[in-house]
Structure 1
């Protein structure tokens, strides 16, 4: 026998539960194109170039004059890409990175010119690689997959969602390559390595997650950046010592000192690899900004968590890179600085300066001296063109 009160509860549950479920907010769908660039920015860049406005016109001319934009660019797909650490010879590493940049370059060229030859070339490169590549191996395989994977995803987003002339079966094969060959290499990060590895891997994972329309992959990459950036770029509010990176492998004072290449004094903007060289700090700045920019397109404000560290790091390193401060003081890396920053500042500078209105005089000068920024032949390409300014509000 069913008691009246139990019956009432059962009826209410049957009526109200579906209502509760149906009114719960659904996850926001991922936006496409949405890996670093959205449709609005692509349209903005095209309009600025066609109007002859700077710095876009000069940046486009530099891209068009590069070997990556050549209609005769020679594609070299590999079945296995073997990338050992150090100076040991590998197989296919340079070819993979350069072919990914060439695909992205032709995708951008098509975006601006609408010349179908560029679209065909971008698709040819991506189709040849997705039909050939099966694996990465050796000690640098994760970093290699991160460099190339982030660029493949950007090119793929443009050609899939803006050009829309990519056959479905080829899209599916490219999707499978990113999911099965690249994502396993980058999704878990790299806890025991220098921090630029982890951040570049997160850059790739976030962009690949967008291309795969896989919100869980994208969100895990964003969460990793939130964890990793405070342990890579120091602020005095962290305390007298830097934060330990996630994973519990670097915790003691002695371990942190070794991890920070012997540095004992910490100031705002110092990076874990400052005393290694500025080149790797640049990689970390670019990768962090790439994920934050991709997240912004997807409606996630990651910038609020990383903006102050990016600002401090850009200003600290830029002032030495452009020579506004005399060669390194003795307290900083023993007075020995390797000033090798690449074209890594544009995306972060655009957000900090043009959106937030912050003053970054050293970083602004650094970007100006490098313009039009080209490519590092790894994972940064044509960012004066894509992020050299912000549309008027």
Structure 2
């Protein structure tokens, strides 16, 4: 209890070193203006992305949330898992926020507020197995992003926003911080990169929403110099140059491609949120995220990539894994838009992977609910063609 009290005091106060920008997570005001202009002009492919969003039942203004007092991810021997209630509602809040910002129809904001308030007045803990840290990380950053879209809505009362901030801190951040500090007392290299990355993303997002620069800086520092596999030098740990393209082998490349692609479904949003606050993690160490993205995309497109045997305290992986090769995740629009469209960098495999996902998704990235009912389809917020496409 003393440990939690010290954390609470430190991280609720923050350090006040600089002002955080709002809206300033995945999307800025300029982004929302671009989305609206493209949709109003019926411009392709943005209009396809918009139609995908509006056809998804999670974006309906009649969506009924199912807040839980305790969320369980991982069966603890007693309580059945119920975390699908959380990820469905989180994705609905985000989808409704996008519909509100683009259409201007307050009924969508009201529906999002109902979700945000329902959970902030009900949720007290995330439990289960060690998988609780995955729930706190993935759904923590996603929930904070949904709230960031709605924070300017006059229909979301200040007291309700404060309660939501408290929930983010007490339920989500407390797990994020503890995991990155202790890793459940396991060896530092035991947990795969995605475990660190999702908790870093959540910490960063909650820091932004809660105007807490201490949280925000902790996440940035971990990306650069953390001890676990979420540090970028450990996530993308081996570089090659093949036909003039820098490729970065990833910590999960020898595990399976479902998790290897998940790393970039997390790195993209992490870097995007930081970029919108003035910190360029995309460009860090000569675009190391891009190197990893190009490697992972190239292999999942069916092409060969170099591979170096990977060893940690649990495994030795002497060959790249072809398990789940070709995984379809709506995560590549964001990365390609930043590196290719914004910075003019060659990102050909990332672009080809973006196009493959779009072709398999009806012409534009979908969101939660468009990629099956299981948690993997909700590991990323999606809708990137609508939200991130620049040209």
Query: Which TM class, normalised by the smaller chain length?
Result: 0.7 to 0.9
The offset of 1:153, in angstroms, is 0.7
Partner of 1:119: 109
Are positions 1:365 and 2:352 aligned together?
yes
Report if aligned partners of 1:36, 1:207 keep a CA contact under 8 Å in 2: no
Report if aligned partners of 2:275, 2:281 keep a CA contact under 8 Å in 1: yes
With normalisation by structure 2, the TM-score equals 0.79
Shift in CA distance, 45/334, structure 1 to aligned 2, threshold 3 Å? closer
Q: Distance in 1 between matches of 2:207 and 2:307?
A: 43
Instruction: State which of 342, 347, 354 in structure 1 corresponds to 2:341.
Output: 354
Gaps in structure 2 of 5+ consecutive residues: 1-15, 226-230, 241-245, 310-317, 359-363, 368-376
Are positions 1:62 and 2:52 aligned together?
yes
Report if aligned partners of 1:327, 1:337 keep a CA contact under 8 Å in 2: no
The offset of 1:295, in angstroms, is 1.3
Shift in CA distance, 234/72, structure 1 to aligned 2, threshold 3 Å? same
Report if aligned partners of 1:286, 1:347 keep a CA contact under 8 Å in 2: no
Partner of 1:8: none
Partner of 1:304: 283
Instruction: State which of 366, 374, 379 in structure 2 corresponds to 1:374.
Output: 366
With normalisation by structure 1, the TM-score equals 0.79
Shift in CA distance, 221/328, structure 1 to aligned 2, threshold 3 Å? closer
Shift in CA distance, 129/109, structure 1 to aligned 2, threshold 3 Å? same
Secondary structure at 2:18 match in 1: coil
Report if aligned partners of 1:235, 1:309 keep a CA contact under 8 Å in 2: no
Shift in CA distance, 106/321, structure 1 to aligned 2, threshold 3 Å? same
Partner of 1:149: 140
Report if aligned partners of 1:234, 1:309 keep a CA contact under 8 Å in 2: no
Q: Distance in 2 between matches of 1:335 and 1:301?
A: 31
Report if aligned partners of 1:196, 1:280 keep a CA contact under 8 Å in 2: yes
Are positions 1:313 and 2:292 aligned together?
yes
Partner of 1:289: 268
Partner of 2:238: 235
Partner of 1:159: 150
Partner of 1:17: none
Partner of 1:338: 324
Report if aligned partners of 1:275, 1:337 keep a CA contact under 8 Å in 2: no
Q: Distance in 2 between matches of 1:150 and 1:166?
A: 20
Report if aligned partners of 1:55, 1:385 keep a CA contact under 8 Å in 2: yes
Report if aligned partners of 1:225, 1:288 keep a CA contact under 8 Å in 2: no
Secondary structure at 2:249 match in 1: coil
Task: Spell out, residue by residue over 1:210-229, the C-alpha distance to the aligned partner (whole angstroms, 9 max, x if none).
Answer: 00000110111111112301
Are positions 1:273 and 2:259 aligned together?
no
Report if aligned partners of 2:262, 2:379 keep a CA contact under 8 Å in 1: no
Shift in CA distance, 326/298, structure 1 to aligned 2, threshold 3 Å? closer
Report if aligned partners of 1:328, 1:335 keep a CA contact under 8 Å in 2: no
Shift in CA distance, 306/152, structure 1 to aligned 2, threshold 3 Å? farther
The offset of 1:63, in angstroms, is 0.8
Shift in CA distance, 171/367, structure 1 to aligned 2, threshold 3 Å? same
Secondary structure at 1:36 match in 2: coil
Instruction: State which of 134, 137, 159 in structure 1 corresponds to 2:124.
Output: 134
Instruction: State which of 55, 59, 81 in structure 2 corresponds to 1:91.
Output: 81
Q: Distance in 2 between matches of 1:88 and 1:43?
A: 48
Larger strand share, 1 or 2 = 2
The offset of 1:119, in angstroms, is 0.7
The offset of 1:72, in angstroms, is 2.8
Instruction: State which of 39, 42, 56 in structure 1 corresponds to 2:29.
Output: 39
RMSD of aligned Cα (Å): 2.5
Gaps in structure 1 of 5+ consecutive residues: 1-25, 238-266
Task: Spell out, residue by residue over 1:247-277, the C-alpha distance to the aligned partner (whole angstroms, 9 max, x if none).
Answer: xxxxxxxxxxxxxxxxxxxx94111111222
Q: Distance in 2 between matches of 1:62 and 1:110?
A: 15
Report if aligned partners of 2:335, 2:350 keep a CA contact under 8 Å in 1: no
Question: What is the number of equivalent residue pairs in this alignment?
Answer: 334
Q: Distance in 1 between matches of 2:170 and 2:159?
A: 16
Question: Please, which moves more after superposition, 337-346 or 110-119?
Answer: 337-346
Instruction: State which of 87, 90, 93 in structure 2 corresponds to 1:103.
Output: 93
Partner of 1:218: 216
